Amino acid sequence: MPKKSGAGKLRTSHAPTGDWARHIGAGPLSEWLTNWPNRVASLSRRQSRSQGRSQSRLAASPGNFGRPAGPIILAHTTCIRFLGLLSGNGMADSSLYDRLEVSLPGAWIDHADRDHAWNVRGPLSSAVDQFNDAVVACQFFEPITANDLKRDPSGDVSARRDPVRDRLRGICARAYVYALDATCSFVKILLEEPLSKPATTAACSAFLQRFQGVRLIRNSLAHVDERSQGMGSRGKKLPGPVLVIGGGFTGNRFGVTSGEGAYAEVEISEQFLACFRAALIEIIWSFDWIVIGNIRAKRP
């Protein structure tokens, strides 16, 4: 984690390893977070060498991703602040991830059509990565409890305001929904594969039917601008008088007004993820797997 040294300067430490690296999980976002100290240090060196140059020349310099330096600095600063919230007593342990992490049982899928085996392994791997990201989001999510409520002299109950915790709660909830929805999207790709076995088709269909509500929440989050104007799916007017825009919480449940006008919610909990995980594993084991040594994998 970054430490302050001197007059407010940031000193970066080595990239996280061990439990912290496992705790973050797998996937492009977690890989970026794991390597962020080295990226910050590299960026600082580039900025020092570029001092005195024009903004446009700096934006076009190698390694700056073709973007202005300002937004990049802001992105790294945001990352540092976010990771700072997760340090010390605020960091959840990795036990939830250890219990729920999913991995593919083998290196290859055993199928006579090698193109089909290749085409389905990619979406399966991506579905697993997205589910593991949802586990991490759940791990950092803090549900609203009685301690978050206060009663004023008139007897009315309202939530205590902690802007940072409130926003972090929303960030985790939205990341959770988007990761679960992405998992469902990859499962849909498997369902549409023409050479899939009946067992695979049945497992994918059952999965998508059971968790179809996640897509309703994701769609409203993605179209929050339309929902704020009272517009639902295909531009139809949503009924009032109350619309939940951007997401609301009831304990560990996160919900929104869907594009059809109904309230849709999902539980952010280990119990829900365990059910989601079990259904995903049924899909994974509907395929035959080969491990290193050309040995058929056996389901535990």
Cα–Cα distance measured from residue 136 to residue 138, given in angstroms and rounded to the nearest whole number: 5
Q: How many CB atoms lie within 10 A of CB 29?
A: 15
Task: Give me the pLDDT at residue 74, please.
Answer: 27
Q: What are residue 254's DSSP bridge partners?
A: 249, 266
Least confident of 50-54, 71-75, 191-195: 71-75
The percentage of the chain sitting over the pLDDT mark of 90, rounded to a whole number, equals: 57
Asked if pLDDT for residue 195 goes beyond 80, the answer is yes
**Residue 272, amino acid:** F
pLDDT category of residue 3 using cuts at 50, 70 and 90: very low
In 3D, which of 211, 204, 183, 178 has the Cα closest to residue 123?
Answer: 183
Q: Is the pTM of this model over 0.75?
A: no
With beta carbons less than 8 A apart as the criterion, state whether 124 and 281 touch.
no
H helix and E strand count, the chain: 12, 10
Cα–Cα distance measured from residue 97 to residue 102, given in angstroms and rounded to the nearest whole number: 9
Cα–Cα distance measured from residue 247 to residue 257, given in angstroms and rounded to the nearest whole number: 8
The percentage of the chain sitting over the pLDDT mark of 70, rounded to a whole number, equals: 67
What is the arithmetic mean of pLDDT over 173-178? Answer: 98
